[in-house]
Amino acid sequence: MQNTVISPELIAESNARHAAALEDDYASLGRKLERQGVAIDAVTDKAKGWAVAVPSWGAGRGGTRFAKFPLAGEPTNIHEKLEDCAVINQLGRTTPGVSPHLPWDCVDDYSALREEAEGYGLHFDAVNSNTFQDQPGQAQTYAAGSLSSTVEATRKQAVEHNIDCIEIGKQIGSQRLTVWVGDGTNLPGQQDLGRSLDRYLDAAADVYAALPEDWLMMLEHKMFEPAFYSSVISDWGSSLMAAQELGDKCKCLVDLGHHAPNVNIEQIVARLHRAGKLGGFHFNDSKYGDDDLDSGSINPHQLFLVFNELAEAEADPRGGFDPAYMIDQSHNVTDPIESMLSSAEAIAGCYVRSQLVDREALRAAQEANDVMLAFRTLRQAYETDVGPILAKARAEQGGAIDWLGTYRASQYRERKAQERKAVGQGAGIV
Ligand code: PSV
Ligand code: MN
Ligand code: MN
């Protein structure tokens, strides 16, 4: 018996009020797609089979280094985070996976945690290690780096933490480790740019050696922050170089907010796929840097173009195609449940649009160098309002057609504000 957090009756009542309008919109979109040779129900089935994991840390209010403004009723531990993730999946039906962050989500009993998640119909996705912060009681500081530190004991400690993450991951049913390090420098001359990568690679090889056969290690690059002059794994070039050197079980993770401004991220996706190194994603949106804004809120077209490359990659898998999809956002001013529902819908919407692209027509236009026809072929899919497909997919799986109205009517957050302990104010985390 699955543990439902939001009343199924409330969802059913809300859906009943929206059902007729949805049927009307769905039928109209169905006729439009039929004229293009697309069967809408087949697309809806694809939408139902598609999923993106939510970050456990995204269930709480984020913050900046200036301040954090807590939300009454926000979660303060992994158990409460799981409960909130269950709400997101119950209403949206696209997010059964939860990506944990260690040691933020450490508990005593991981098999009990796994059962707890399964009780909500959830599972654990990639485990994220954390060697970018010092933890209470830790022997070595990461102030001057972790896997790339000049101090051998610090590198060893960082390696051991990553191996601990693998061990915990095995117990909770994960098969992927995501490694992002904040290692880098703040002033020219602070470290040798070549030797710091050598040290990183040596230490990362020790982590790689501890990976089970059926696991993947995903290297997440980031151009800057916390290091403001140079980062050890700063871009997809460094990430690819490292993944190639480490071995077949190591791939690259693309966080949409970790690139230089105006970089062509969709092309990076295509290149990584070509190299057999496309491991996964951290979805979010940005305007200035690693803003961690809600997915699709600033540049939905870019998100669509990324999914278009993913559709191309799936059609031509070369050595394989199995990227891990995760959200990685910081919700500074919204209710995180609402932000993640909105983001999951935006991401799934781009996936669905990518499935509507007439690939044959696109390929023919590309081969004929018909620039405008190629552009319009892509644009036609992007401009299709796929909202009815997403709503239908949700409703048919027990989710909410109007997820925002249903969530607010449930008064979930208000109830949690009564039950949960308040979070203190202060500076946020990354
Ligand atoms: C770093 O900016 C990052 O994107 C990494 O994925 C971290 O694990 C996460 O954010 C921490 O919030
Ligand atoms: Mn990230
Ligand atoms: Mn980030």
**Which atom number of ligand 1 is nearest to the Cα of residue 225?**
2
Cα of 281 to ligand 3 centre, how many Å?
A: 11
Domain assignment of residue 97, yes or no: yes
Domain assignment of residue 19, yes or no: yes
Any atom of ligand 1 within 6 Å of the Cβ of 331: no
Identify the pLDDT of residue 82. Answer: 98
**Which atom number of ligand 1 is nearest to the Cα of residue 290?**
2
Where would I find the H helices in 49-151? Answer: 78-92, 110-119
Cα of 405 to ligand 3 centre, how many Å?
A: 30
Supply 123's token pair.
């599972």
Cα of 258 to ligand 3 centre, how many Å?
A: 6
Any atom of ligand 1 within 6 Å of the Cβ of 292: no
Structural domains in the chain (count) = 1
Q: What is the CATH number of the domain that holds 128?
A: 3.20.20.150
Any atom of ligand 1 within 6 Å of the Cβ of 329: no
Domain assignment of residue 426, yes or no: no
Phi, psi angles (nearest 5°) of residue 216: -125, 145
Residue from 180, 253, 284 whose mutation best tests the ligand 1 pocket (most atoms within 8 A of CB): 180
Any atom of ligand 1 within 6 Å of the Cβ of 220: yes
Domain assignment of residue 428, yes or no: no
Identify the pLDDT of residue 181. Answer: 98
Domain assignment of residue 266, yes or no: yes
**Which atom number of ligand 1 is nearest to the Cα of residue 257?**
4
Looking at the CA of 257, name the nearest ligand.
3
Mapping DSSP to helix (H, G, I), strand (E, B) and coil, where does residue 346 land? helix
Mapping DSSP to helix (H, G, I), strand (E, B) and coil, where does residue 9 land? helix
Identify the pLDDT of residue 424. Answer: 72
Any atom of ligand 1 within 6 Å of the Cβ of 222: yes
Domain assignment of residue 43, yes or no: yes
DSSP structure class, residue 97: E
Identify the pLDDT of residue 430. Answer: 40
Any atom of ligand 1 within 6 Å of the Cβ of 282: yes
**Which atom number of ligand 1 is nearest to the Cα of residue 330?**
12
Range of the domain at 174: 8-419
Any atom of ligand 1 within 6 Å of the Cβ of 283: no
Domain assignment of residue 424, yes or no: no
Identify the pLDDT of residue 18. Answer: 98
pLDDT one-digit tens code per residue, 4-14: 999 999 999 99
Enclosing H/E stretch for 250? strand 250-255
Looking at the CA of 57, name the nearest ligand.
1
Q: Which residues of 312-322 are buried (b: 16+ CB within 10 A; e: fewer)?
A: bbeeeeeeeee
Closest CA to ligand 1's atom 11 = 430
Looking at the CA of 282, name the nearest ligand.
2
Which residues are registered as beta bridge partners of 179? Answer: 219
Identify the pLDDT of residue 328. Answer: 98
Closest CA to ligand 1's atom 7 = 180
**Residues at Cβ < 5 Å from ligand 2 ion:** 255, 282, 328
Cα atoms found within 13 Å of the Cα of residue 255, Cβ hemisphere only: 28
Identify the pLDDT of residue 204. Answer: 99
Q: How far is CA 318 from CA 48, 246, 270, 273, 312, in A?
A: 26, 20, 12, 8, 11
Q: Where are the beta strands (DSSP E) in 11-165?
A: 54-55, 97-99, 123-124, 127-128
Any atom of ligand 1 within 6 Å of the Cβ of 127: no
pLDDT one-digit tens code per residue, 312-334: 999 999 989 999 999 999 999 99
Domain assignment of residue 3, yes or no: no
**Spans of the chain below 70 pLDDT:** 1, 425-430
> Could you tell me the pTM of the whole model?
0.97
Residue from 282, 286, 326, 331 whose mutation best tests the ligand 1 pocket (most atoms within 8 A of CB): 282
